[in-house]
Chains A and B, each alone.
Chain A
Amino acid sequence: MWQDASDGLTYLLSQSGESLLRLFWFVAIFEIPRYLLGFISVAALSVRPNTRSLPVDDSDRVTVLIAGHNEEDSIERCVQSLREQSRPPDEIIVVSDGSTDRMPEKLRQLEERGLINEAHCTQVRSGKSAAINLALRRATGDVVVIVDCDCTFDRQALKRIIEPFADPRVGAVAGNIVVRNARHNLLTAFQAIEYLVSISQGKQVADLTDQMSLISGAFGAFRRVAMQKVGGLDAGGGEDLDVTLRLRKAGWRTLFAPEALCYTSVPETLSVLIRQRFRWERDAVQLRYRKHGDLMNPFSTGFSLRELLHELDFLVFSVGSAVIFPIYVIWLFVTYGDLGIIILIGAQIGMMALDGATFLLAAFVTPKAETLWLAPYILGYSLFNGFVMRFVRLAAYLQEWIVEASYRDTYVPSKVHRVRR
């Protein structure tokens, strides 16, 4: 065994640049560019002058919209943390979407105490999109901020997320989502690293390159007129990705506000996490390649270079890396036999180093989230992300491709699935 390992090491060290590329083509195609983009953007961010220092228009009214189903336990904390904002919202509208717990009663109390302005309670569940649309129709703010019930906010979050609207071309701004229960277990610690890398840092890259294609429904701000022009949210899962794509198609700019921090709880068990990711990936595939497939069709009216880039980004670095990876592994073993395992380990070590560097950069650009303590978990995260989550994604893509499972998701009521586009 040790002999094999040292033979392998000797083999790897004796490779030339060109032959290394032949061995590690997967990493070179699907991983290195992703990291590289990150490094470049952070470098660019640190030298870029702050172009967002436009004067903030305080006369803008801000309405917060919250939709929840059976959220009697979390709604009050969420509302309280909104009321604690340095720039408090002018209006809070909450919709209890067919709740069967005591949420409607809780909302009445909150309204009586003056903590929220309007509460609507439907008797049957309509789904998050419809609930938000109802609230949107009642909203009077110039900017509407959609938040999830289980979110709490940094005191400056609201102020930061509405600042970019000083630019009239801006249609929507994404908040920075941080994991609140990172210390709960290994799984939540891994997700905390993942959020930091993919959202806190990843979205800064997207923002820099005008590729912000997902304003998360957990914490996102929208210009109300823009939102109403595109008809609000559409039926079905992934409504946040969908509306972002539609806003972009309509010509609005979408940005990221890294300092608008929102804390959320992530799944604490593997089964819940897997279910969540299945849903996300299925919805992404269904929206990007079915509903918004025209973005990649050069002959359609929706086609543009800026939309093509994030579509390709997803196709290559999410779908591609998941689909090709098993092929790469098989190819390794077929071509190199026992040496394949050494090569794989070598590749993994290289990616760990890259992950570590990326994490440090992300922690560096989001100092407020205080995430440096997560550094020791990088090794585990790298393996978890590289093997477990990659296969979860692959399974989700295959499932969606073959059986269109996104149309059976319980996130959306079945009456809606039956008729939605």
Chain B
Amino acid sequence: MTAATAPNLEPVSHAAPGRRVLVAEDSPTTHEILKLLLTQRGHHVDIATDGEQALEALRHNHYDVALLDFHLPKMDGIRVATTVRSELPAHSRPRLIAITADLPGLLAHTADCENFDLVMPKPLDIYRIGQLIEEQAELGDEKQPEPLKPGRQSAPSLASAAIPAAVRQPFAIEGLGYEFLLWPEDIDVRRLSARAIQATLGDPRFDAILITQPVSVEALASLWERKALFALPIVDLTGTLGRMADFDGADLSGTEAERLGRLIRDFQDRRARLHRDLILSDKLSEKLLGRMFVANRPLTAAYDPRYRHLAAYDIPLGRRLATREAEALCEHGLLKREFFERFHICPSCDSYRFHVREECSQCRSSNLSEEQYLHHFRCAFQGPESDFRRGDELVCPKCHHELTHFGFDYDRPGTMVVCGSCGHAASEPSVGFVCLDCGVHTDSEVVPTRDVFSYQLTDQGVSFAEKGGAVLGYARQALRFADLPLELVVALNAAAKRYNEDKTPFALVNILYRKESEVVAEFGARRFAQARDLFIENLRNALAKPNTVVKGQSHDFALLEAIGPEQAQVDFDHLKERASRTLSVDLGAMFQAFGPEDFS
């Protein structure tokens, strides 16, 4: 495997070098938010508010990425893209990303669509955009997947991929009447077909992903980069994925076809039960959890000698990433570990592939031979058996008496391990580890170890999969922009603008109700909703204008003006007390404060 020589890729940090980004978008709210977030991630952002402006900017400046709205005033996004593609040489052309709320409308222009490198549906997934721009390669895990270099790709299109499917010979399995997405026809490392994009939106009519060409787990990283695709079963026609696939489609005899039907139905049922939050999640950890839920099996490690790390999980995701994400889920109590194996690690190259052998403690040679030694009682000579050997007789080399009776005139008190290379002898051999990947030798006493676990969903993990983020409440610290109510986004946008202009701080308070489930169980959901409304009302009164208190779906928010998160925290207890004063039930309200820095 070439993986053996690839460097170890730790996750790329957010400190990716800044990119030049053009945002062509007529909605001020959208481009302000985009600008705020991308600027804080270290990128340079230019704004164009119509198609002509955008084209002008693209002609005169070099950009790494251009985000083009489909519906732009004066000239629509497709025309901008078409023009850019025809005018600019491939190496100086930015990566073109269409953003639209009207996906079917865009896809209707099949021929023109191919001028975009990627289509992003609205509402915009700001984190996905950030990732695209920074080209985070971390999904590559063992081996870095081919990076998406803007402008490097010239011809193949989004929709044209569907065409070869029509001309090629269909696989027998396709005759079974399921709706398959094909790898690499519909999905490959770089782009998705229109059908595949439809699937990433959570469209339930797709049944499975069919792997028709040999593929590595690294390449399949693109399944995890998109939404929803992870929740489809993987049917492998090539046999290269082994237990990483859900079904080996090479042999389709009667019972196997039945089994495939059952598998697809099971996945459908489980997928229907998987909460939308997870299907459409961007977080790899949540996708992993969703995958485990849909596949309805634990994340099981098994030996796999093809990899440097000797263990692979039964999902099409690299071991290192799967481990990292599963550990994060364990931290939150969503998964629980089960010990699989303790591996020894090469301190020099991190490989787990070792040759373990008995060796000489002096010269480290494994050229050892073991010999018993004899003790002749009568004359006290004690030495290796070869000293005594005379044909089939044992004769003492010191006193020349024949040894006749074990236990009476001689015995075998021990053994000696003699090194054929340096002649050193010891009563026991040492144990040494030789790395098969880099050849470095390590003593058994000092070779470091790492434990590999299998994981299964906890009850909490299952309920998270079924009920979504609401279940977790306080357990999760991350604030997701997409969760914010629109009213808040507008207010936040204004606050961010002021912050950018004169550094006026603000604090966004996330209000969680830890005792929600208890209150609902005891007094009913209506009583909880009333109490929550009252709490918000009280808080609104306690916080005078210009502060904003906004009701969200699973939690509520308050935006505090002209105060940083640290200062805001000082008053939290007091605020909670005032807001709870007239309440008859305890909601277990918890405040989390975020400042301008948290939106980077």
Contact = CB atoms under 8 A, between A and B. Distances in A.
A232 B381 CA distance: 8
Contacts of A164: none
Interface stretch (A123-131, A288-296, A366-374): A123-131
A72 interface: no
Contacts of B387: 137
A133 B424 contact: no
B381 A130 contact: yes
Nearest to B417: A120
B380 A133 contact: yes
A112 B445 CA distance: 10
A80 B192 CA distance: 72
Interface stretch (A50-58, A335-343, A376-384, A413-421): A413-421
A404 interface: no
Contacts of B373: 134
B381 A231 contact: yes
A120 B373 CA distance: 11
A419 B383 contact: no
Contacts of A134: 373, 382-383
A415 B407 contact: yes
A120 B425 contact: yes
Interface residues of B, number: 27
Given A112-B361, A121-B427, A421 B378 contact: yes
A118 interface: yes
B448 interface: no
A408 interface: no
Nearest to A126: B375
A235 interface: yes
Nearest to A228: B398
B425 A123 contact: no
Contact of B380 (A120, A125, A138, A239): A239
Interface stretch (B93-101, B139-147, B229-237, B408-416): B408-416
Interface in B159-208: none
Interface in B356-393: 361, 373, 375, 377-384, 387
Given A120-B425, A120-B426, A127 B380 contact: yes
Contacts of A125: 413
Contacts of B3: none
Interface string A195-237: 0000000000000000000000000000000000001111110
A60 B384 CA distance: 26
B399 interface: yes
B428 interface: yes
A111 B382 contact: no
A108 interface: yes
B378 A232 contact: no
Most chain A beta carbons < 10 A, residue from B380, B384, B408, B426: B380
A111 B361 contact: yes
Contacts of B427: 104, 119-121
Contact of B414 (A112, A118, A123): A123
A235 B383 contact: no
Given A123-B413, A415-B411, A133 B383 contact: yes
Contact of B382 (A104, A126, A234): A126
B398 A418 contact: no
Contact of A119 (B380, B398, B411, B426): B426
A238 interface: no
Nearest to A233: B380
A171 interface: no
A129 B383 contact: no
Contacts of A130: 375, 380-382, 413
Nearest to B423: A140
Interface in A83-131: 98, 104, 108, 111-112, 117-127, 129-131
Contacts of B378: 235, 416, 419-421
Contacts of B361: 111-112
B428 to A, nearest CB: 7
Contacts of B409: 419
A420 B445 CA distance: 44
Nearest to A96: B427
A124 B416 CA distance: 14
Contacts of A138: 425
A198 to B, nearest CB: 27
A235 B413 contact: no
Interface in B431-451: 445
Nearest to A421: B378
A123 B427 CA distance: 10
Contact of B379 (A112, A137, A231): A231
A337 B309 CA distance: 99
Contacts of B414: 120-124
Contacts of A122: 375, 413-414
A128 to B, nearest CB: 9
Contacts of A416: 377-378, 380
Interface string B37-78: 000000000000000000000000000000000000000000
B424 A124 contact: no
A118 B426 contact: yes
A251 B97 CA distance: 102
A216 B156 CA distance: 93
A133 B378 CA distance: 13
Nearest to A236: B380
A232 B428 contact: no
Given A415-B411, A419-B408, A234 B379 contact: yes
Contact of B413 (A119, A124, A232): A124
A117 B379 CA distance: 26
Contacts of A121: 414, 427-428
A234 B380 contact: yes
Contacts of A123: 413-414
Nearest to A239: B380
A69 to B, nearest CB: 12
Interface in B249-281: none
Contacts of A117: 424
B416 A120 contact: yes
Contacts of A137: 382-384, 387
B382 A118 contact: no
Most chain A beta carbons < 10 A, residue from B381, B387, B428: B381
Interface in A227-265: 231-236, 239
Interface in A275-321: none
A124 B414 CA distance: 8
Given A111-B361, A122-B413, A126-B375, A133 B381 contact: yes
Contacts of B398: 133, 231-232
A124 B375 CA distance: 10
Interface string B196-224: 00000000000000000000000000000
Nearest to B378: A419
A11 to B, nearest CB: 58
Interface string B87-109: 00000000000000000000000
A146 to B, nearest CB: 13
A191 to B, nearest CB: 29
A34 to B, nearest CB: 34
A393 B398 CA distance: 34
B333 to A, nearest CB: 43
Contacts of A126: 375, 380, 382, 411, 413
Nearest to B443: A112
B596 to A, nearest CB: 57
B407 to A, nearest CB: 7
A274 B399 CA distance: 34
A418 B373 CA distance: 21
10 contacts: A111-B361, A121-B428, A123-B414, A125-B413, A126-B382, A130-B375, A130-B381, A234-B379, A416-B380, A418-B408
Closest 4 CB pairs of A and B: A122-B413, A129-B380, A122-B414, A235-B380
Given A126-B380, A134-B382, 4 more contacts: A108-B428, A111-B426, A112-B445, A232-B380
Interface of B: 361, 373, 375, 377-384, 387, 398-399, 407-409, 411, 413-414, 416, 424-428, 445
